[in-house]
A = this chain, B = another copy of it.
Amino acid sequence: MRALVTGASGFLGSHLVSALCQNGWDVTAVLRAGSPRNERVHPAAQRALLAEGYENLTAIVQAARPAIVFHTAAQSQGQYGPADAQALLSSNVTFPTLLLAHLSEVGCNAFVNVGSSWQNAQGAEYSPFNLYAATKQAFEDVLVAYANCGLRATTIRLFDTYGPDDARAKIVDLIIHATLSGQALDMSPGQQILVLSHVSDVVRALLHAAQLTLQRAPSALVYSMPGESIVLRELAQRIGRICDRAPPIRWGARPYRTGEIMNPFVGTIPIPEFVCSTGLQEGLTAVIRRHLARRTSERP
């Protein structure tokens, strides 16, 4: 099986590429030139460096000849100003749409897309947390149009993901780092609920979605990634118990973000016939062990 993976040097993308390579897939890893994590991509994958204006996308798709595309690339930072808007649209709408437009040239009609629970900030109806979430929704709209001409697309909307080797400075790693280092961490009051999925389960979900997608008639379907719900303060306590020390968090030192999602909408249909295999306790323990090992090895 031949796959093309976008965002291949990212947290999710690099884990996915490794899993695909280990399962014997022929993988083309699409990378941005100069991305600091490009060396993390599994050595068995073909690397394809994407030009700034996507001019070489034709050549990349022609060389990859994928049976399916996994689109994990995303620009997730940015506000509403012109430069941010341009970057968000280019990465999250224009790039994957051009990719879709090229796929039919090589007879590929299967696409697994990564969406975000932030598209449903207020509940079942589309209600974007920010412009990033709007660009994710916009690309789902484009997928529906391509399903008119034969595309099979499955979007998995993610909540919070965590796991080993996460360079994104997300909440789980921030709390673990603070707890192990003793460095104080200013946070919001911490009453928001998170829905956490371990990256290995997300990878399994994407592979499962690929099988469903390849077997289906043309359509664009949307599922949510299952996960374990926990209040942020309880997550910190859980991490503290595993580390055997209290997290040095100053709760309430920062306000909630504008429009903070206190209670994520979990009503999107979860991906069918799929259950997570890594529980939160097990997953956190492994990540904490990895932090400890790194701290030990970095000690002079």
Contacts and interface: CB of A to CB of B under 8 A. Distances in A.
Interface in A79-114: 80-82, 84-86, 89-90, 93-94, 97-98, 100-102, 104
A85 B104 CA distance: 13
Contacts of A281: none
Nearest to A84: B101
Nearest to A137: B141
B138 A93 contact: yes
A130 B148 contact: yes
A70 interface: no
Interface string A144-161: 111011000000000000
A89 B82 contact: no
B89 A93 contact: yes
B102 A128 contact: no
Nearest to A128: B145
Contacts of A128: 141, 144-145, 148
A274 interface: no
A108 to B, nearest CB: 13
A251 interface: no
A31 interface: no
Contacts of A258: 148
A19 interface: no
Interface string A99-143: 011101000000000000000000000111011011101110110
Contact of A101 (B80, B90, B149): B80
Interface in A5-21: none
B145 A131 contact: yes
A146 B88 CA distance: 14
A58 interface: yes
A267 interface: no
A34 interface: no
A-B interface, 7 closest residue pairs, ranked by CB to CB distance from nearest: A138-B138, A134-B145, A82-B101, A85-B101, A137-B141, A128-B145, A131-B145
23 contacts: A57-B82, A58-B82, A80-B104, A80-B145, A80-B146, A80-B149, A81-B101, A82-B98, A82-B101, A84-B101, A85-B100, A86-B101, A89-B93, A126-B141, A126-B144, A131-B146, A134-B142, A134-B145, A135-B142, A138-B138, A138-B139, A141-B141, A148-B259
Interface of A: 57-58, 80-82, 84-86, 89-90, 93-94, 97-98, 100-102, 104, 126-128, 130-131, 133-135, 137-139, 141-142, 144-146, 148-149, 258-259
Given A58-B82, A86-B98, A89-B89, 12 more contacts: A57-B82, A80-B104, A81-B101, A84-B101, A86-B101, A93-B94, A126-B141, A127-B144, A130-B148, A133-B145, A134-B144, A138-B138
